Amino acid sequence: MKTICYFLVLATIILFSTHSSAKELPGIKVAGKNFVTESGEVIRLEGVSFSDPDKLEKEGQWNRDYFEEASNWGCNVVRFAVHPTRLNERGWDAYFELMDKGITWATELGMYVVIDWHSIGNLNTEKWFRPMYVTSWEETVKFWQTTAERYKGNTTVAFFELYNEPTSQGGELGELSWATWKPTMEKLIDEINKVDDQKVYLVAGMDWGYFLDETMKNPVNRKNVAYVTHPYPQKRNKPWEPQWEKDWGHVADHYPIMATEFGFMGPDERGAHMPCISDEPYGEAIMDYFSRKGISYTLWCFDPHWAPTLITDWNFTPSRQGRFFKKFLAE
């Protein structure tokens, strides 16, 4: 009996050690046009965007298997899409406990985390695209200061995507331009820096997080800033590359860019909508362009329900775009 007990205790210790001694990932910062590690090594982030942790947990999918599948696809970064309404419905303490678990699994699997405040609308006027994106300036500051305090010193949580998609929705949500958006982001960064100034701040461009054409003349005047674009295929017509270069790509010659959302789907696929309808030639073009420019990315979306999807079910069967992009991540 003593022998059996000994081996049970030993097995428990080994199991606990395996899941509690995850190797800390190197810290990341901005250096010129690159993301670099603490040792100065240039790193390019390539991964997927998850749906909301609250949604995934309710469906029984917020678990280590989910993260392992992303790792198996070849990801070195994953993005958490935190919706304000889901945060409030679950409760802040319970929601952050979900993120704690995910960050632990990401650390164990060697993947960085982008935390994304997933609202769409005009933070300046506090008008929103849909009810699920409703927040406020005060709540946004609270969220980021809470996040900064909780993950201070945690190198896995390398990126704070400050606001998902700023849009004026044709003026219905009020005036919004780079000239008024940039100071809002600087003000928000200053609020976060009161708690921790060691994260990389991802700042989205105009028109649903697409345009970065004004940033070179008027860049965000804070350290550790990188820029975000969401270059879905129907934002421009073919040929894409010259327009991408003008709209946002030229910025990658001076500052890091992370495309935190993009992807494609056929017109007959479930959930098909503008600006996502396209095909494999778009995929070839965007991946080649990213590669040439050194642009990091997180594909949308590692979920069978939120289109354009990368998987069709919870067996992780790749969708059409999933089959296409998986080979790039594997490489």
**What confidence tens digit (pLDDT) does each residue in 28-54 have?**
999 999 999 999 999 999 999 999 999
**How many alpha carbons fall within 13 Å on the CB side of residue 121?**
23
Contact 114, 78 (CB under 8 A): yes
Give the pLDDT score at 171. Answer: 83
Average pLDDT over residues 301-324: 98
Q: Distance between CA 99 and CA 67 in Å, rounded?
A: 12
Give the pLDDT score at 15. Answer: 41
Please give the structure tokens belonging to residue 166: 């700023």
Cis peptide leading into residue 239 (ω within 30°): yes
Residues pairing with 257 in the sheet: 227
**What confidence tens digit (pLDDT) does each residue in 116-160 have?**
999 999 999 999 999 999 999 999 999 999 999 999 999 999 999
Distances (CA, A) of 297 to 47, 50, 261, 287, 329: 6, 13, 7, 10, 10
pLDDT reading at 87 higher than 90: yes
Give the pLDDT score at 170. Answer: 79
Classify 111 as helix, strand or coil.
coil
Pairing of strands 257-259, 296-300: parallel
Please give the structure tokens belonging to residue 307: 């289109």
Q: Mean pLDDT over all residues of the chain?
A: 94
Please give the structure tokens belonging to residue 187: 């003000």
DSSP notation for 306-318: SSSPSBSSTT--B
DSSP letter (8 states) at residue 221: -
**What confidence tens digit (pLDDT) does each residue in 100-118 have?**
999 999 999 999 999 999 9
**What confidence tens digit (pLDDT) does each residue in 156-176 have?**
999 999 999 999 887 899 999
Q: Which long-range contacts (CB under 8 A, 24 or more apart) does 304-308 make?
A: 305/51, 305/271, 306/51, 306/271, 307/265, 307/269, 307/270, 307/271, 307/272, 307/273, 307/276, 308/263, 308/264, 308/265, 308/269, 308/271, 308/276
**What confidence tens digit (pLDDT) does each residue in 226-245 have?**
999 999 999 999 999 999 99
Cis peptide leading into residue 318 (ω within 30°): no
The structural domains of the chain, ordered by start, are 44-330 (3.20.20.80)
Give the pLDDT score at 23. Answer: 84
Question: Which ranges of 37-81 would DSSP assign to H, the alpha helix?
Answer: 53-58, 64-73
Give the pLDDT score at 21. Answer: 52
pLDDT reading at 8 higher than 90: no
